[in-house]
Amino acid sequence: MGGRDTTLVLLDENGIRCDGRKVDEPRRIMIKAGGLKNADGSAYIEFGDNKILVGVFGPRDVHPKHMSNTDTGILRVRYHMEPFSVTERKNPAPSRREIEISKVIKEALEPAVMLDKFPRTAVDVFIEVLQADGGTRCAALSAASVALADAGIPMRDMVAACAAGKAADTIILDVNNEEDQAGQADMPIGYMPSLEKITLLQLDGVLTPAEYKKCVETGIHGCKIVYELQKKALTEKYFGNGEK
């Protein structure tokens, strides 16, 4: 991102990345639907070395009351990182970064959730990052969609998310922490594959218009991979062994 000088080889002569992946290969992804007893819906995701837990409550009464809307339900999202989730201990108070990520995840989920069916209520999504390793917002968004579905909240589609980016002058899928720090660009994408709508899109780093197009295409390709795993997680919970 900052183009920091490092001796790390991001892409070797055989087109293999610093963690052994190919340019278009995502990290290992494991999604589990459910798992929490008290939450109305929950999900756990491991996305490379990211470990994220999501709990959903609602539709339920809104506190404070003045936040409620008589026309529609409201969605509230809190993205929070544990102090032990990163190398240097993180102050547990919400940072400006966490507040911004909470907002972009909320806005990424809103097009998918049919909130108008539940006026005067709130759906609360609590995202807890237990371990962070680059790309937490995408992993969190993917898990949050599964948790919302697990809570039985009507949805138009699930939002799948994956980042694309640029390192060693090459467009790559699923940027890891090292590539984020030393690479040239990071573009997180949230996508509703059935509705073909992009609901989360950010970028830092420099891309030519042609690279920009390729980066969006690559990210959408990653979202489609995640989407299959999201569906599989739900199928496994509700139909057992992945059979319908």
Partner 1 sequence: MTSTSVIDELKKSQILELLEQGKRIDGRALDEPRKLMIEINAIPKANGSARVRLGDSEVVCGVKIQPDRPFPDMGDKGIFICTAELLPLSHPSVETGPPGPDVIELARVVDRGIRESHMIDLSQLVIAKNKSVVGVFADNVVVDYDGNLFDACAYAATAAILSSKTPKWEMKDDVPTLVEGGESSVPVTTIPVSVTMGKIGNYIIVDPNGDEWDSMDARITITTDSNGNICALQKGGTGGFTFDEVIKCGEISVKVGSKIREKLKQVKEGGQ
Residue from 199, 223, 230, 234 in contact with partner 1 (CB under 8 A):
199
Nearer to partner 1, 103 or 232 (CB): 103
The one-letter amino acid code at 129 reads: V
* Residues 70-109 as x/- pattern, contact with partner 1 by CB under 8 A: --------------------------xx-xx-xxx--x--
Strands of the sheet containing 170-173, edge to edge, are 170-173, 160-167, 185-192
Q: Does 65 bind partner 1 (CB under 8 A)?
A: no
What angle in degrees, to the nearest 10, is found between the helix axes of 96-109 and 136-150? Answer: 50
Q: Does 197 bind partner 1 (CB under 8 A)?
A: yes
By CB under 8 A, what part of segment 170-189 binds partner 1? 187
Give how many residues touch partner 1 by CB under 8 A. 36
Nearer to partner 1, 214 or 237 (CB): 214
Nearer to partner 1, 13 or 196 (CB): 196
Nearer to partner 1, 81 or 192 (CB): 192
By CB under 8 A, what part of segment 211-240 binds partner 1? 212-213, 216-217, 220
CB of 97 to partner 1, least distance (A): 8
Nearest residue to 230 via CA among 96, 61, 54: 54
Burial class (CB in 10 A: 0-12, 13-18, 19+), 75: buried
The two structure tokens encoding residue 235: 């199928």
Residue 48 region, left (φ>0) first, then alpha (ψ -120 to 50), else beta?
Answer: left
Report how far apart, in Å, the C-alpha atoms of 116 and of each of 120, 148, 206 are.
9, 15, 39
Residue from 18, 86, 130, 201 in contact with partner 1 (CB under 8 A):
201
DSSP state letter for 153: -
Rule CB under 8 A: which residues touch partner 1?
1-4, 96-97, 99-100, 102-104, 107, 110-111, 187, 192, 195-209, 212-213, 216-217, 220
